[in-house]
Amino acid sequence: MPVTLTATDYAWFPERFSALAEAYCLTLVERVSPVELLDRLDARERRVLTGVDALVEPAYGAWEDGGGDDAFVGVAAVGDWSLVVEPNGLLGVTEAVLTPLSRGRTVVSHFRNVNALNLFFWYVDGDLRLQFEPLFPDSRVGSDPDGLVEVMRRVGFDLDGDDYDRCDEAAFALAAHLTGVRFTADLLASAEYLCGTVRLPGR
């Protein structure tokens, strides 16, 4: 799949969705419907909400009500993929969730918290191909940590210096390269999300 998107193509994200951009986890799961995905996660208290802005308040509420043990997730169908949006969430970068969920399919996720800690994961059929922090893209682990180096450079990661600008936006572009799914402002703002509350593994 040719790379056609870069970090610049996602420059709208932190301003257009400022509440979400402060702390989020976005996950793309191949060949699974939102209903099936929530079933796999044993999600409870399901409802449908429109647009990611509607997810922010209940997500922070679930975190507070559950003492940090619960994640509120919204899942939208995007072609053959399910897009999982978690304001202030981390379920999508929890390996106990990702490894079984990725068996037989591809899963790509990226995360940022209020302290600017960020993570990127690429799983294929239960195998962690690549994991790194977008702030520090020169440090990578996984079964194929160097296979996407040239792609990473082209989408906007600085692998040789200390340019931290738009590393989150570069993560969006890398996810688009791996999945063929492009996040757009209209998609995030207008999609219908099947939502539920999920207990974090081990809690």
Return per-residue pLDDT of the chain as tens, 203 residues.
455 799 999 999 999 999 999 999 999 999 999 999 999 999 999 999 999 999 999 999 999 998 989 999 999 999 999 999 999 999 999 999 999 999 999 999 999 999 989 999 999 999 999 999 999 999 999 999 999 999 999 999 999 877 778 999 999 999 999 999 998 999 999 999 999 999 999 87
**Among all chains, which residue has been given the structure tokens 């951009």?**
21
Measuring CA to CA, how many Å separate 71 from each of 24, 25, 194? Answer: 11, 11, 14
Strand partners, 124: 106, 127
pLDDT given at position 4: 79
Confidence (pTM)? 0.95
Q: What is the structure's pLDDT at 1?
A: 47
Report the alpha-carbon distance of residue 109 to residue 89 in Å, rounded. 12
* The dihedral sign for the CA sequence 163, 169, 172, 176: negative
Question: Looking at residue 165, what is its pLDDT?
Answer: 82
User: Of 96, 79, 74, 92, whose CA–CA distance to 31 is shortest?
Assistant: 79
pLDDT value, residue 133: 96
